[in-house]
Structure 1
Amino acid sequence: LDDAPVFAVDEDAAARLEGFEVVRGWIRGAGPETVEVDEDGVRFAVTLGTGHKTGLYLDQRENRVRIAGLAAGRDVLDAFCYTAGFAGHALRGGARRAVCIESSPEAIAAARRNLALNGLAARAEIQAVNVFDELRRLERAGARFGVIVLDPPPFARSRSAIPAASRGYKEINLRALRILEPGGHLLTFSCSHHVSNSLFEDICREAAADAHVRPRVVAHLTQSPDHPVLLNVPETHYLKGLHLQLP
């Protein structure tokens, strides 16, 4: 990698907080505007500098790969789907269909491109909706899914936002557990570093109690190893998740 081109996308808020200059673009060498990433056999077209981060959340790589082994023959709901990363792996793993819900029109367009790139579009439904509203609608409609992914944007960007964020996380997990079929899998995440592991588990526990279900914890999930956690910098452990399964 010594001679590999490097593309950087700095966040304005982080730059202001830490006092460094914002850089967006090629900082070493140059490359194409759009690159194609192969992630364990699933391809993603990434337009550099658009979308969030550099256009693909590499911190979820191992968790996306995990879903392929759970999805065969099941209906999958990819909520806050962004560019359909989880749905792509689920469909490649043999899911019967994937329903992708997302509020961003730009992300929806990228999701359609990625699923088409992999020849998976025929088994996918992509909807531009408010995810909170759609989860409620799915519950009212009696929908059932064998695998559900909840990968929302950060609900708590500051400590003062934790109470509202907790209510939001509880709401989406409650709705998801109510539409998860027996034996089904829920992969639920929080990328808000202000929301601790213990708080996130408490929220999910309360949601399960209100949904009158007793899921088992299959695994505790976190960011991929190339996003290291520094013991003395707790903010680096920002992604936490649970893989839950109903009886």
Structure 2
Amino acid sequence: MVDRFGSILVAQVTTAGMERHRDDLVAALAALPGITGVQFRNDTGSRDLEGLESYVETAHGAVPDRVEIMENETRFSVPISGGQKTGWFYDHRLNRARLRRYAPGSRVLDLFSYIGGWGIQAATAGAREVVCVDSSASALEELDRSAALNGVEQKMSSRRGDVFDVLARLREEKERFDIVVIDPPAFIKRRKDQKQGEKAYQKINRLAMELLVPDGVLFSASCSHHLTRDALLLAMLRAGREIGRDLQILEQGHQGPDHPIHPAIPETEYLKAFTARIS
């Protein structure tokens, strides 16, 4: 995969076959008009399955530690050298745009927030308060930087820790939110993780629903290609039944057109998202 940040390209190679053509890939990317730097973020755990070494390397030109981008009228400082994957998750751009329509006047909880892609956009769209939760201290520092870029730092707060543990504490504190966003890393990375992963999706949705006000809005997503859209919806339905909450699906989302789906490769349809009203 290759993500573009203006004149900078950040690539991630996850298979041995593509790694063998690394030099050809660098040459092709460097030849693109306007490109001044190419970096490999080949530090993902999936490379272990292919017997590949882990590394981060600038393969062409110069690459800064972070770049600034604009998404949905919101500015972000993106740590392309030290962030998750390539630094940013462009595939959720359209889903984050949907959130903005619900945000005005709302109190928002952004789970697995990373650097605040959902939460800060809720704030710039008019949310009155946003609480972001992530286990990474460095990600939350980057979140503060981007909040300041947009002048919404007074609306933002964060909690560092395991998301499941933080949700339990929020419930004990009787906190309530108008909107909760669930955008976790893949809970099902391999087929053998299917059963436990589906239980995790059900649990995280249940914990989130418990914090929603009546008729609050839940944004629930999964990036695991092993979890079908129907399976995610079933996890949400079962979560609601556990606690006596009903849900209505308001919208459905998927990856943007810059992450196209190949009809013959079902794994390319990996991202699914639901916007639900929880009564």
Q: TM-score with structure 2 length normalisation?
A: 0.82
Q: Amino acid of the residue matched to residue 162 of structure 2? A: N
Deviations 1:81-135 (A, max 9, x none): 1101111110011111001111111211111111122111111111112210111
Residue 130 (structure 2) pairs with residue 98 (structure 1):
yes
Among 245, 257, 261, the residue aligned to 1:229:
261
> CA–CA distance in 2 between the matches of 1:59 and 1:120?
24
The 1-side partners of 2:66 and 2:113 are apart by 20
Q: 2:92 — aligned with what?
A: 60
CA distance in 2, matches of 1:228, 1:78: 26
- Structure 1 residue 29 displacement after superposition: 4.1
Kindly, what percent of the aligned residue pairs are identical?
34
Rg larger in 1 or in 2? 2
CA contact (8 A) 2:44 2:85 kept: no
In the alignment, which residue of structure 2 is the partner of 1:2?
33
Larger mean Cα displacement after TM superposition, 176-185 or 152-161: 176-185
Asked whether 1:147 is paired with 2:179, we answer yes
Residues 110-125 of structure 1: pairs in structure 2 closer than 5 A: 110-125=142-157
Unpaired stretches in structure 1, ≥5 consecutive residues: none
Match of 2:236, as an amino acid? C
Query: 1:59 offset after TM fit, Å?
Result: 1.1
Tell me which amino acid in the other structure corresponds to 2:132: C
Match of 1:192 in 2: 224
> Within the alignment, does 1:84 sit opposite 2:116 as a pair?
yes
Query: 1:39-58 CA distances to partner (integer Å, 9 max, x unpaired)?
Result: 12211111222121111111
The answer to whether 1:171 aligns with 2:203 is yes
The residue number in structure 1 matching 2:274 is: 242
Counterpart of 1:106 in 2: which secondary structure?
A: helix
Whole-angstrom distance in 1 between the partners of 2:40 and 2:94: 22
Tell me which amino acid in the other structure corresponds to 1:75.
R
Match of 2:81 among 49, 52, 59: 49
For the aligned residue pairs, the C-alpha RMSD in angstroms reads 2.0
**Equivalent in the alignment of 1:158:** 190
**Preserved contact between residue 110 and residue 133 of structure 2 (Cα < 8 Å):** yes
What TM-score results when the alignment is normalised by the length of structure 1?
0.92
Matches of 1:59 and 1:155, distance apart in 2 = 18
Larger relative contact order, structure 1 or 2 (CA cutoff 8 Å, min sep 6) = 1
Write the letter of the residue equivalent to 1:3: G
Task: Report SS of the residue matched to 2:118.
Answer: helix
| Structure 2: gaps spanning 5 or more residues | 1-31
The question of whether the paired residues in 1 share the 8 Å contact of 2:222 and 2:232 is answered with: yes
What SS class does the counterpart of residue 94 from structure 2 fall into?
helix
Structure 2 counterpart of 1:217, which letter?
Answer: I
1:122-155 Cα distance to aligned partner (Å, 9 max, x none): 1111111221011122223222111110011111
Residue aligning to 1:205: 237
C-alpha spacing 1:43/1:25, structure 2 compared with 1 (3 Å): farther
The equivalent of 1:39 in structure 2 is 71
- SS of residue paired to 1:85: coil
1:44 partner amino acid? F
CA separation of 1:246 and 1:104: change in aligned 2, threshold 3 A: same
Per mean C-alpha deviation after superposition, the further-off stretch among 132-141 and 53-62 is: 132-141
For residues 136 and 244 of structure 1, what CA distance do their matches in structure 2 show? 22
- Matched residue SS, 2:239: helix
1:22 deviates by 7.0
User: Within 2, Cα distance between the matches of 1:133 and 1:183?
Assistant: 25
